[in-house]
Amino acid sequence: MRSTMAAALALSLNVSLVCPGVILADEATDKKIAELEKTAGEAEQQRVKSAEALKAVQATVTAARTTISNLKKQSAAAAKTLKDTEAKVKPQTEAMTKATAAQKAAEAKLATAKKAEDAARAAEQKTQAAVARDRGIAEATGAAEATARADRATAQLAATATRGTALEKQAAERAQQTAGNVEKAAAIAATTAATAKKSLDALTPLTAALKKAVAATAVEQEATKKMVAATTAAQAELKKTQDLIAATKKQIADYPNQTKAAEAELAKRQQTLKTAQTALEQATEVAISKLKLAETALIAAGRLVSFTHKVAPIFAKRCLACHNARTAKGRYNMENFAGIMKGGESGEVVDKGDGGASTLFALLEDGSMPKDADPLTKEELALVKKWIDTGARLDAGVNKNDQLITIMPKPQQPTPPESYRVPIAVTSVAFTQDGKTLASSGYHEVILWDTATGKTVRRITNVAERIYDIDFSADGKQLAVAAGTPGQMGEVKLFNVADGKLAADLVTSPDSIFSVAYSNDGKRLACSGADRSIRVFDVATRKQLVVIEDHADWVMDVAWSPDNTLLASASRDKTSKVFNSTSGDSQVTFNGHGQPVFGVGFSKDGKQVVTAGSDKQIRVWNTADAKQARAIGGFGNEVFRISVTADNRVFSCSADKSARLHNIADGKELKKFDGHSDWVYTITFHPESKRIATGSYDGEIRIWNSEDAKTTVSFIAAPGYKAPDAAAAAN
**Strand pairing class (649-654; 639-644):** antiparallel
Tell whether 479 and 587 lie within a shared domain. yes
- Residue 444 belongs to domain with CATH number: 2.130.10.10
Confidence of residue 13 (pLDDT cuts 50, 70, 90): very low
Q: How far apart are CA 197 and CA 134, in angstroms?
A: 8
Confidence of residue 720 (pLDDT cuts 50, 70, 90): very high
Tell whether 612 and 559 lie within a shared domain. yes
Q: Which has the closest alpha carbon to 595: 543, 655, 517? A: 655
For 683-697, what is each residue's pLDDT tens digit? 999 999 999 999 999
Q: How far apart are CA 387 and CA 303, in angstroms?
A: 9
For 426-438, what is each residue's pLDDT tens digit? 999 999 999 999 9
Confidence of residue 1 (pLDDT cuts 50, 70, 90): very low
Q: Is residue 79 part of a domain?
A: no
Instruction: Answer positive or negative: Cα dihedral of 679, 682, 685, 690.
Output: negative
For 66-79, what is each residue's pLDDT tens digit? 999 999 999 999 99
500, 458 Cβ separation under 8 angstroms:
yes
Compute CA distances 462 → 337, 412, 483, whole Å. 27, 6, 11
725 bridge partner residues = none
Least-confidence region, from 140-149, 377-386, 399-408, 439-448: 140-149
HEC letters along 56-86 = HHHHHHHHHHHHHHHHHHHHHHHHHHHHHHH
Q: How far apart are CA 360 and CA 542, in angstroms?
A: 38
Tell whether 580 and 446 lie within a shared domain. yes
Q: Edge-to-edge, what's the strand order for the sheet holding 502-509?
A: 466-472, 478-485, 489-496, 502-509
206, 61 Cβ separation under 8 angstroms:
no
Q: What is the pLDDT of residue 12?
A: 45
Mean pLDDT of 281-288: 94
Q: How far apart are CA 380 and CA 313, in angstroms?
A: 10
| Amino acid identity at 678 | D
106: left (phi over 0), alpha (psi -120 to 50) or beta: alpha
| Amino acid identity at 543 | K
Q: Which has the closest alpha carbon to 181: 160, 139, 153, 162? A: 153
Q: Is residue 318 part of a domain?
A: yes
Q: What is the pLDDT of residue 730?
A: 52
pTM: 0.69
Q: What is the pLDDT of residue 682?
A: 98
323, 332 Cβ separation under 8 angstroms:
yes
Instruction: Answer positive or negative: Cα dihedral of 685, 686, 692, 694.
Output: negative
Tell whether 513 and 481 lie within a shared domain. yes
Q: Is residue 387 part of a domain?
A: yes
Q: Which is higher by pLDDT, 310 or 199? A: 310
Q: What is the pLDDT of residue 102?
A: 87
pLDDT over threshold 60, residue 729: no
Q: How far apart are CA 609 and CA 578, in angstroms?
A: 9
Q: Is residue 472 part of a domain?
A: yes
For 148-177, what is each residue's pLDDT tens digit? 778 778 877 877 777 777 777 776 777 677
Task: Tally the domains of the chain.
Answer: 2
Q: Is residue 4 part of a domain?
A: no
Tell whether 631 and 541 lie within a shared domain. yes
pLDDT over threshold 70, residue 14: no
Q: How far apart are CA 293 and CA 456, in angstroms?
A: 47
28, 412 Cβ separation under 8 angstroms:
no
For 628-641, what is each residue's pLDDT tens digit? 999 999 999 999 99
Q: Which of 357, 381, 409 is the last residue of a domain?
A: 409
Element of type H or E holding 600: strand 597-602
HSE (CB half, 13 Å, CA atoms) of 587?
22
Tell whether 678 and 568 lie within a shared domain. yes
pLDDT over threshold 80, residue 502: yes
Q: Which is higher by pLDDT, 635 or 412? A: 635
Q: How far apart are CA 130 and CA 128, in angstroms?
A: 5
Q: What is the pLDDT of residue 143?
A: 83
Q: How far apart are CA 369 and CA 361, in angstroms?
A: 9
Long-range contacts of 537-545 (CB under 8 A, 24+ apart): 537/506, 537/507, 539/473, 542/504, 542/506, 545/582
Instruction: Answer positive or negative: Cα dihedral of 70, 71, 77, 78.
Output: positive
Q: What is the pLDDT of residue 178?
A: 74
Q: What is the pLDDT of residue 638?
A: 98
Confidence of residue 129 (pLDDT cuts 50, 70, 90): confident
Compute CA distances 724 → 288, 425, 506, whole Å. 58, 18, 40
Q: How far apart are CA 10 and CA 49, in angstroms?
A: 12
Least-confidence region, from 102-106, 172-176, 224-228, 303-307: 172-176
Q: Is residue 346 part of a domain?
A: yes
Instruction: Answer positive or negative: Cα dihedral of 722, 723, 725, 728.
Output: positive
Q: What is the pLDDT of residue 180?
A: 77
Compute CA distances 211 → 206, 220, 523, whole Å. 9, 14, 97
pLDDT over threshold 50, residue 487: yes
What is the percent of the chain with per-residue pLDDT over 70, rounded to a whole number? 95
pLDDT over threshold 90, residue 282: yes
699, 708 Cβ separation under 8 angstroms:
no
- DSSP-derived letter for residue 625 is T
CA terminus-to-terminus distance, the chain: 60
| Amino acid identity at 29 | T
Q: How far apart are CA 715 and CA 670, in angstroms?
A: 26
pLDDT over threshold 50, residue 16: no
Q: How far apart are CA 30 and CA 649, in angstroms?
A: 72
Mean pLDDT of 270-285: 95
Task: Name the maximum alpha-carbon separation found in the chain.
Answer: 208
Least-confidence region, from 128-142, 234-248, 525-539, 649-663: 128-142
Least-confidence region, from 121-135, 255-269, 546-560: 121-135
Tell whether 404 and 485 lie within a shared domain. no
Q: How far apart are CA 409 and CA 310, in angstroms?
A: 9
Tell whether 459 and 388 lie within a shared domain. no
Mean pLDDT of 221-242: 90
Mean pLDDT value across the chain:
90
Tell whether 467 and 340 lie within a shared domain. no
Q: What is the pLDDT of residue 6?
A: 42
Q: Is residue 357 part of a domain?
A: yes
Q: Which has the closest alpha carbon to 486: 515, 506, 514? A: 514
Tell whether 545 and 648 lie within a shared domain. yes
201 bridge partner residues = none
Q: How far apart are CA 658 and CA 664, in angstroms?
A: 19
Confidence of residue 726 (pLDDT cuts 50, 70, 90): low
Q: Is residue 26 part of a domain?
A: no
Domain that holds residue 518: 429-730
Tell whether 372 and 455 lie within a shared domain. no
Least-confidence region, from 97-101, 191-195, 637-641: 191-195
C-beta neighbour count of 350 within 10 angstroms: 20
Q: What is the pLDDT of residue 165?
A: 72
Q: What is the pLDDT of residue 7?
A: 43
Tell whether 380 and 442 lie within a shared domain. no
Tally of residues, the chain = 731
